[in-house]
Amino acid sequence: MIYKTDYHMHSSYSDGRSMPEDYIVPAIAAGLSEIGFSEHLTLFKDHEDWNISPGNISPYISHLETLRNNIKNIKIKIGLEVDFFAGKEEEIYSFLDPLPLDYIIGSVHYLGEKTVDAGPEFYEGRNIDRLFGSYFDSVIAAAASGLFDIIGHCDLIRIFGYKPSADLEPLYRKLAKMMKIRDIAFEVNTNGRNRPLADFYPDRRYLHIFREENVPVCVNSDAHMPSRVGQYFDEAYELLRYIGFTEMAVFDKRERRMVPF
Ligand SMILES: [Zn+2]
Ligand SMILES: [Zn+2]
């Protein structure tokens, strides 16, 4: 059996629908050996209801520590999904450094004042090539920052299916090289299948680049409800194996090790 983990899940501590304990039974049923919670944290913006408030991080961590101590048949990891903002690296570092986390997912949701995943109107009347370029610039800066262990949905800008005309291979290559230099993992995020895009992140046509650059991978559901834990994982692992991946990243107290699959 493949050692499967799902490190990207949202409970009602941020914008998920259920409490962390409600994810345990579906995770075991999905054949997962580890799960990890990664609530949204956005610093420097007025508090939005899809985020955990900084004051709630301590109760969140204690809640998961208690759960971890009580549940023996699946490992529970504690993470966050943190928004990256270029120029704010030091503040983000100071905030995150003292927290006893197993991993931190760094994600880009914001381009300017708006998030790229709120609705298709963000894209209307705009130059799609330029939007993709700006999005990748920000994700590459997130990778370069060294703040994170995993980069979340590295091409979320595909969410509504807008297609650039430019060849994106150089952008994916630049990103993969930076991730290798900074020794961080990317995720195959299966939740794209539930969005208008209807496919995984990153774009499967460019997955081979991450393999060629030897970037560590993990498979994550980005579940916001228990029924989506481990969703489409068999297909994701099959795809990775087809591309040539043979091992996946597992995290403990912000240390990574690789496990064969
Ligand atoms: Zn996200
Ligand atoms: Zn997420």
Distance from the alpha carbon of residue 261 to the mean position of ligand 1, in angstroms: 25
Listed in sequence order, the DSSP H helices in 9-164 are 24-29, 57-70, 89-96, 128-144
The residues whose Cβ lies within 5 A of ligand 2, an ion, are 81, 222
Ligand 2 centroid–CA 214 distance in Å is 24
Q: What is the pLDDT of residues 125-154, one digit of tens each?
A: 999 999 999 999 999 999 999 999 999 999
**If you ran DSSP here, which 8-state letter would residue 18 be given?**
S
Q: Which ligand is nearest to the CA of 39?
A: 2
Global pTM?
0.98
Determine whether 42 is exposed, middle or buried from the number of CB atoms within 10 Å of its CB (0-12, 13-18, 19+): buried
Task: Give residues whose Cβ lies within 5 Å of ion ligand 1.
Answer: 107, 152
Contact 36, 5 (CB under 8 A): yes
Centre of ligand 1 from the C-alpha of residue 41, in Å: 10
Q: Average pLDDT in the 3-19 region?
A: 97
Q: Burial, 78: exposed, middle or buried (Cβ in 10 Å; 0-12, 13-18, 19+)?
A: buried
Please name the residue that has the structure tokens 């990207």: 8
Return the closest-CA partner of residue 209 out of 261, 171, 260: 171
What is the Å distance from ligand 1's center to 189 Cα?
9
DSSP string, 153-185: STTGGGTT----SS--HHHHHHHHHHHHHTT-E
Closest CA to 135 of 105, 168, 110: 110
pLDDT band at 48 (very low <50, low <70, confident <90, very high): confident
